[in-house]
A and B are shown apart, each in its own frame.
Chain A
Amino acid sequence: MLVSQIYNDPIGHWVVVVVAMALLLFVVLTATAYTVWFERVALGRIQRRPGPNRVGPWGLMQLAADGVKLAFKESFVPASTDKVLYVVAPAIAVAAAFLAWVVIPIGLWDYYGPKITYWIADVNVGILIVFAVSALNVYAIVIGGYASNNKYSLLGGLRSAAQLISYEMALGLSLVPTFMIVGSLRLRDMVEYTFHLGPYNGPIPLIILTPIGFVIYVIAAVAETNRAPFDLPEAEQELIGGFLTEYSGLKFVMYYLAEYVNIITVSALAAILFFGGWYLWIVPPVLAFLLKVILFLFFYIWVRGTFPRLRYDMLMRLGWKVLLPLAMLNVVGTAVILVALS
């Protein structure tokens, strides 16, 4: 194949990778824009409003309009802020959010014709990279809150740090049983995990084996992405806008973008880790993956449209006293079962 020849050439390899990265960046950015649109329409419907419907057909160009508006806003930096950190913080947020997509496998086409892999890197510690990179989001929020030189921003940033650290533990532990069952940290292996039981011999969605882990993952993921009902870092009613208070224009866009990319990332991870990634009966791989991610995004929006925000002590109690012990028990329980079965 011509493409595989280019790919095996040392220079051509980089060309292919760079093109793939540009393509991925474009796809994720577009997906983000339409996630925002989808969220606004879905929330609107839940509240019996139509949502955005003025710009373009069904309001589909709303995000383009918002983007243009925000891009042309004055780039304002408040006085007596830490100028460097103030600009670096949103950049960290966006970079961390996009980096995770390097290792997320979107699909694999190997039925007929050339074999196509829809990912940039197939790393054998993929899930660790995703977590390592998404943990950087804490720095973006804390640094942004600190650099703003504003008590509400600082409070929001500190709240966020405490929240993200608390729930990261539960999030990580909720996936340990999955790793133990699959025996790999490679995201592709999670999707391609095959199950042998009687006549059945093929891929299964891992949620059948790790239901508790899934429930913990979903709750912790909502908290990790600072979404309602865990959106305390930017609780408008108490903190004005939390760490976002002093940000406007493109720097605000970067935080906003990072938030939505993170939502798509955790949705994609949920699809990969629990619902068999790109496998769905006869649905083509990438389409199946997309479908699962969209369902997860809807679930997120649905939860946002339903539950009120938790009080701060409730949030901490839920994280440390409920989710974390449960996740640990889940790990121990899975280990016992695995040893008993082997």
Chain B
Amino acid sequence: MSTIYILWLRQVKRYLRSRSRIIGSLAQPLLFLVALGFGFGPIFQKAGEGNYIDFLVPGVIAMSILFTSMFTGIEIIWDRQFGFLKETLVAPVSRLHIMIGRTLGGATVAIIQGIIIFLLSFFVGFRPYSLPLLPLAFIFMFLIAIIFTALGTAIASKLEDMQGFQLIMNFIIMPTFFLSGALFPLKEIPKILEIIVKFNPLAYGVDSIRGTLVNSSYFGLQTDVSVLIFLAIVLLSLGSYLFNKIQI
């Protein structure tokens, strides 16, 4: 138990101490929000879809959570040779506890980022439609964070070199973000896109945040909840399994 706690604590301390990383990683989501939000806003409104900023904020929150979570997971590649992770792999503690601590820590950091974006979006005029639903929104954000931290862990457990990192960035993280309905409504997209989106975990995450923050869910919150919880369990298991098999 204390193992889980100190691994969680470590992730959080590392995050809180890296001011430049915090600010840097907020820049991109905010850029998307401001540039696309104000840029496409008028046309979106004209097409009868309402306020684009309101539509976009959940997408941008999900973006920051996705990126932060995956990075925490992927950090393992470096960490296992040159960092504290190696020390933990040799210690008389269960690997499962290490993985859980790390994942919870990474998810905590990701959700803090998500909440910061949420608060900053108030400056461009965003307001959540229902205060009582906010805690639910945060729970959904946490689920997304868990899913992607575990996914990052699973992938990184199989990689030995930082080269793979570039591939992951371009072929996994970016497509996941762009094809999740974070930036565009799913209402009348081409069939091919629709199929891809339906298989994208982030789509349900974005949808759930959109549902709780602006009352506009495409899949329905019930579907979102079931899918996200199911995925969280699957990916935590997969992540633990692969993490357990790491041999330095």
Do chains A and B interact in one complex?
no
Residues of B within 8 A of A (CB): none
Residues of A within 8 A of B (CB): none
